[in-house]
């Protein structure tokens, strides 16, 4: 399935049905009168987050969505049927942006969350509504109110427990393929990963979701490389697994760039991007240990620890060295994140401030 994380769609709610001009005429009834019913209300356009989707690829082939309009009123004071609302299913983690691509309208961060994008138009009044003591035979009816229409952007931010970050060719895709059943594209050149990949890793009978995003380069927060397009996916991750290429081999890397500088480049881009990325818990890993001697591993590990100020794990995705201890190191951080999210959801269900914020946007 092709990954698509950003689309523009047109949504329009149903128009209200027109009212009816009708008069009561029955045999043996001396006095008749107006009995035209009101028109039905147009259907709403609703977005709903569902857990079984992980891409916006469905919107590649359909960009226009229109809800059903309300039916017209009828005689005998019969109100027209309301139009059926249109429910559009999107992946969990989808954000709804206005046409300017900056104004956030809604953030569907939990499964089952819904938001009304366009409210259906009200139906027009029938002539029975206009009957008064001085106007006993009104011959007018309302046409019904038009529905709302908007062009909106849908932007998907993947929800994962762990986000893999690092310079291009740092071994992120290889690690993901080794510890999960995901099969991302792997090659010995930079920017092999052109879209995020998800995988589920099992550690001591517990599962956690890993997200691999394209490599970051200097200036990524300003759009260099594939940075700004995919840095948003890291915002949803609870923990960052920062991979640094210990071998510094490949077409992209400058042979003179050391592991400490590689670490600082990525950290600077996370801080410049904002969104709380620089504040997330981080585990630093020196990769490709199978290509290094013991002395070189010790030297580069010490340099990296001095740069990040914390212990650095050494792994090799090719041989499997050190992968399980790293996952076990990440697991407690993931548990803490899940516990915090559970508490927020409980406050949301109780109707607290978080519940008001998650209620969605109504135009």
Show Cβ contacts of residue 97 under 8 Å, excluding neighbours closer than 6 positions. 103, 104, 105, 152, 153, 154, 155
Residue 307 has pLDDT above 50, yes or no: yes
Residue 361 has pLDDT above 70, yes or no: no
| 143, two tokens | 């046409």
Q: Identify which has the larger pLDDT, 214 or 104.
A: 104
**Any idea what DSSP says for residue 293?**
-
pLDDT, mean over the chain: 82
Per-residue model confidence as pLDDT tens digits over 56-105 = 888 988 999 999 999 999 999 999 999 999 999 998 889 999 999 889 99
Binding residues for GTP: 166-173, 191-195, 212-215, 287-290, 316-318
CA-CA distance, 42 to 30, in Å (whole number)? 37
Check residue 256 and give its pLDDT.
Answer: 40
Average pLDDT over residues 93-120: 91
Binding residues for Mg(2+): 173, 193
Binding residues: 166-173, 191-195, 212-215, 287-290, 316-318
Residue 257 has pLDDT above 70, yes or no: no
**Any idea what DSSP says for residue 129?**
G
Band of the pLDDT at 23, cuts 50, 70, 90? very high
Q: Alpha-carbon dihedral of residues 256, 261, 266, 267, nearest 10 degrees?
A: -170
Lowest mean pLDDT segment, chosen from 90-94, 165-169, 251-255: 251-255
CA-CA distance, 263 to 218, in Å (whole number)? 11
CA-CA distance, 196 to 198, in Å (whole number)? 7
CA-CA distance, 106 to 48, in Å (whole number)? 11
Per-residue model confidence as pLDDT tens digits over 179-195 = 887 665 554 544 455 56
Per-residue model confidence as pLDDT tens digits over 136-166 = 899 999 999 999 999 999 988 877 788 888 8
> Check: CATH 1.50.10.10 for 6-156?
no
Backbone angles phi, psi at 343, to 5 degrees: -65, -40
CA-CA distance, 237 to 36, in Å (whole number)? 57
Q: Are 131 and 35 in contact (CB under 8 A)?
A: no
| 286, two tokens | 């020196």
Check residue 355 and give its pLDDT.
Answer: 42
CA-CA distance, 231 to 115, in Å (whole number)? 25
Q: Identify which has the larger pLDDT, 214 or 235.
A: 235
Cα 42 to Cα 66, 124, 255, 361: the distances in Å are 10, 11, 64, 19
* DSSP bridge pairs for 154: 7, 96
Check residue 348 and give its pLDDT.
Answer: 56
Among 164, 190, 162, CA closest to 251 = 190
Band of the pLDDT at 171, cuts 50, 70, 90? confident
6-156 and 162-349 agree in CATH topology: no
How is the chain split into domains, by residue range? 6-156, 162-349
CA-CA distance, 328 to 90, in Å (whole number)? 33
Q: Are 152 and 88 in contact (CB under 8 A)?
A: no
Quote the CATH superfamily of domain 162-349. Answer: P-loop containing nucleotide triphosphate hydrolases (3.40.50.300)
Q: Classify residue 224 as left (phi > 0), alpha (psi -120 to 50) or beta.
A: beta
């Amino acid at each position: 399935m092709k990954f698509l994380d950003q689309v523009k769609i047109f949504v329009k709610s149903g128009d209200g049905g027109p009212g009816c001009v009708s008069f009561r005429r029955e045999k043996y009834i001396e006095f008749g009168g107006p009995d035209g019913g009101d028109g039905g209300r147009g259907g709403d356009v609703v977005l709903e987050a569902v857990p079984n989707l992980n891409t916006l690829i469905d919107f590649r082939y359909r960009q226009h969505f229109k809800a059903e309009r309300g039916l017209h009123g009828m005689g005998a004071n019969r109100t027209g049927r309301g139009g059926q609302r249109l429910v559009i299913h999107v992946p969990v983690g989808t954000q709804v942006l206005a046409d300017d691509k900056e104004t956030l309208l809604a953030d569907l961060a939990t499964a089952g969350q819904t938001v009304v994008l366009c409210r259906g138009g009200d139906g027009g009044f029938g002539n029975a509504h206009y009957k008064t003591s001085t106007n006993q035979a009104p011959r007018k009816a309302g046409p019904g109110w038009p529905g709302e229409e908007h062009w909106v952007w849908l932007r998907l931010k993947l929800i994962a427990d762990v986000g893999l970050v690092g310079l291009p060719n740092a071994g992120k895709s290889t690690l993901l393929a080794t510890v999960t059943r995901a099969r991302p594209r792997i090659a010995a050149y930079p920017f092999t990963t052109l879209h995020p990949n998800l995988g589920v890793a099992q550690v001591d009978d517990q599962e956690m979701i890993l997200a691999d995003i394209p490599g970051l380069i200097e200036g990524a927060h300003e759009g260099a490389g594939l940075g700004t397009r995919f840095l948003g996916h890291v915002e949803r991750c609870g923990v960052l697994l920062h991979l640094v290429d210990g071998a510094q081999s490949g077409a992209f890397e400058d042979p003179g760039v050391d592991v400490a500088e590689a670490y600082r480049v990525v950290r600077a881009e996370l801080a410049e991007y904002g969104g709380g990325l620089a504040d997330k818990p981080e585990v630093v890993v020196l990769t490709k240990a199978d290509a290094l001697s013991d002395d070189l591993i010790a030297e580069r590990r010490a340099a990296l620890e001095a740069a990040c100020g914390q212990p650095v794990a050494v792994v090799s995705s090719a041989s499997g060295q050190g992968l399980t201890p790293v996952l076990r190191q990440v697991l407690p951080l993931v548990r803490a994140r899940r516990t915090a999210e559970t508490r927020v959801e409980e406050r949301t269900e109780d109707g607290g401030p978080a519940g008001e914020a998650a209620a969605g946007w109504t135009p």
